[in-house]
Structure 1
């Protein structure tokens, strides 16, 4: 058993992952929601080579113009290669020659390259740049992330897939007023549960009210009052829908104390754990010996849940070497920026906030190392191995769930053929122009 676990860990840390297949089907829609605004007031892109070193080894600074010129992906690759080879003076020389496009005229590709130039400059001279790690914890970034989840069908439908898996696992027909309990470790602004409550209201057929319990877990010191406000709004909605909701907040709980008792779970109640967009921000063994990412998964397994839902960005940036991370960032964030530009009108003021948030994510992924690299995404194959090591078994999303998602995609009022959805290796993959951006899966 020990040898098997070591072999799994070796595979987990192996970064020679290939991107999944491209048997994409259907399209997806965009729908509007007023939920976030009530809570807060505040072209297909080319992909860099997966082996950037070999593709650029013949390049040299002499090939770049000696006058100021607009940067391109190829120039970005030359700069990144120079940095990886320890030739920071050469990288600085190339950076000094490039200019960035005025913000009011930039398209998605130019925004991507400008973000990358900022990231590379920050990596060379971190003292002269703003603190990209700190920015990812700020209120502005929290708002932009929630707007991204709302505006991008890839993320919005990932939440929907998680909800359907929770409903499927609860197995209630609501005739006897049965209840279930959802533990959420990253509730955001609660939009996922607005949709869950609406879905429950359409399924309710019995005379007895359905009782739903939601427990939001947070380690943020000032998170209690914000989550309490979210709970009050969800309770108001559930009352209108005829659902009995019990919302609870657990703050400051140590990972070692995580248990059904500390979370207030009844001994025999059905339990669902939602980890949508949580784990990529939890450090693993490559950051610290305590490995809180795997420890959290083991603790969740100990709760004996009926289902655990996982939704994550599809990006190999956790233990990937620097050049590979530059390539992945260009491919993933380039596709994401392009999808936003293609589907959200420039007149929408939220679009600029979302794009700036994507820029912060990219800059942090490229410029920072160690504990300062906040977001550490992995591809679905690695999540599968990590979940298996924690004792989980993959629950392929049922055909009913897949068909429900596909029907939502084709019945909306705004359709863009660039968005795709496919079932692969037990997960549901959501993408743009052939690039998978998010994957939803269910476990037990």
Structure 2
């Protein structure tokens, strides 16, 4: 790496560590983070470019492949990055053009994807017999499920069969509320560089907001889904580095629900308390059971001398909106959060048009999104890693639910950032820039993890992706 490419505030030990990380010993990723978390060039500053790179690289597990380790090689189709298959669908006077991004693996995938679009189109037009014939033909093709393309093919076939014949192939609904699915989401968050970077960007936005309010050393985070414990591990380490003579206080108030029970959240709080004690940060962990309609600063225990932040990382996409119910719990939550008058609200979501889009479009989006996500994990994590297998099982359930289910049964309702911006704006929020220094650090970070991963600022959000496909967008609001 050229000297000019290093961030200015990256220490010499950090540079040497990253140079080692690009070699054949991925375990140094974790070791480098542990070492770097004990030092810092300026403990008063939030986590910016250099620290971000070292910290995120450090969050890799010891089973993660390095840049030059044995990722599968394959022939890439000579297509432009925005190449699409366009499927025309007519329903009454409505005309739908469905873009399907081609997975860049082998020419066979083109005809397979086209057949899937044809099946989705037939379902959309009520031609179940035609769709069943296509699916029967596709099922006859052997699929060893040995690479990302074959896996997304298998997941999609199962989802479409479930859509056509729910009695023979039960639709995945209850499975998305089990402990096993919760664990699979954690595995995904830990293994995917894009998801990890999204959480890091959220933390950085919280720290930046705290630095804008220097009169207090107390941060209060309201979290409606504490599903990623390690996000707070990282935040505690960052607070430990930036505190001077006065001890920092991190208060986390989390709401228990049907997925995150009080018992499970208590175990999370106990583990975070142990880390906080080691890092010299005072932690207050509160668990509440409360209806969204009853949200208030008093009910959440907010104090005047705290910097209040709300963490909405991967929360809203699982909440139904007005297309499902007049209750519209998604917008109800946003209005409630706005009423709390937080200093910052962090939003991290998957970039996929999977909510109100016509069915063929949803199928095309799922093919492109999950294909890119599986391929990015395949390039980063060893094939026999048990956490990778668990994460992939969770992704199969998520894809199945987003394609096979409708109404209240469809839990997975992802949106693109443009839609989230509109929803946040209607709730009264304004976009809060995350800063150029953050963007420069993330871009270097993603390139170091693997040249296929990307990080960039776009339209006020930070986009993390794989080979030109944005997978995760993080943003901050006020």
Tell me the TM-score range normalised by the shorter chain: 0.7 to 0.9
Output the CA distance in 2 between the equivalents of 1:33 and 1:225. 27
Distance 1:138 1:102 in 2: 31
Q: Secondary structure at the match of 2:362?
A: helix
Tell me which residue corresponds to 2:197. Answer: 157
Match for 1:241 among 274, 279, 286? 279
Counterpart of 2:22 in structure 1 is none
Q: Distance in 2 between matches of 1:110 and 1:33?
A: 26
Q: 2:463 aligns with which of 410, 429, 443?
A: 429
Alpha-carbon offset, residue 333 of structure 1: 0.6
Q: 1:138 to 1:126 in 2, by over 3 A?
A: same
Instruction: Provide closer, same or farther for how the CA distance between residues 337 and 407 of structure 1 changes in structure 2, counting only shifts above 3 A.
Output: closer
Alignment pair present for 1:380 and 2:417: yes
Structure 1 partner of 2:188: 148
Quote the residue 1:75 is aligned against: 115
Residue 230 in structure 1 maps to residue 258 in structure 2: no
Q: Residue 240 of structure 2 is aligned with which of 192, 201, 218?
A: 201
Matched residue of 2:412: which SS?
coil
How is 1:27-426 mapped onto 2 (pairs within 5 angstroms)? Answer: 31-33=59-61, 49=84, 51-53=86-88, 72-99=112-139, 105-171=145-211, 178-204=217-243, 206-220=244-258, 223-251=261-289, 253-409=290-446, 415-426=449-460
Unaligned runs of 5+ in 2: 1-52, 63-73, 91-95, 97-107
Distance 2:377 2:275 in 1: 30
Deviation at 1:405, TM superposition (A): 2.9
Q: CA deviation at 1:268?
A: 4.2
C-alpha contact 1:286 1:319 (8 A) present in aligned 2: yes
Counterpart contact for 2:265–2:287, Cα < 8 Å: yes
- Measured in 1, the distance between the counterparts of 2:259 and 2:181 equals 18
Q: CA deviation at 1:52?
A: 2.2
Which fold has the larger relative contact order, with Cα–Cα distance below 8 Å and residues 6 or more apart in sequence?
A: 1
Alignment check: 8 A CA contact 1:154 1:430 kept:
yes
Q: Deviations over 1:13-56 (max 9, x none)?
A: xxxxxxxxxxxxx9x9584259xxxxxxxx6799884742369x
* 1:96 Cα deviation from its structure 2 partner: 2.2
For residues 397-416 of structure 1, give each alpha carbon's deviation from its aligned partner in whole angstroms, at most 9, with x where no partner exists: 11232234345446x6xx31
SS at match of 1:146: helix
Shift of 1:143: 0.9
Q: Provide closer, same or farther for how the CA distance between residues 329 and 282 of structure 1 changes in structure 2, counting only shifts above 3 A.
A: same
TM-score (norm 2): 0.77
CA distance in 2, matches of 1:375, 1:358: 11
Distance, in Å, in 2 between the alignment partners of 1:90 and 1:407 is 48
Contact 1:177 1:211 in 2 (8 A): no
Preserved CA contact (<8 Å) 2:431 2:460? yes
The size of the alignment, in residue pairs, is 393
SS at match of 1:212: strand
What do residues 84-121 of structure 1 show as CA deviations (whole Å, max 9, x unaligned)? 12111121122223336767553211111111111111
Q: Does 79-88 or 289-298 show the bigger shift?
A: 79-88
Provide the secondary structure at the position in 2 that maps to 1:423: strand
Note closer, same or farther for the CA distance 1:249–1:33 as it changes in structure 2 (3 Å cut).
farther
Change in 2 beyond 3 A, CA 1:397/1:177: closer
Cα RMSD between the aligned structures? Answer: 2.7
Contact 2:429 2:477 in 1 (8 A): yes
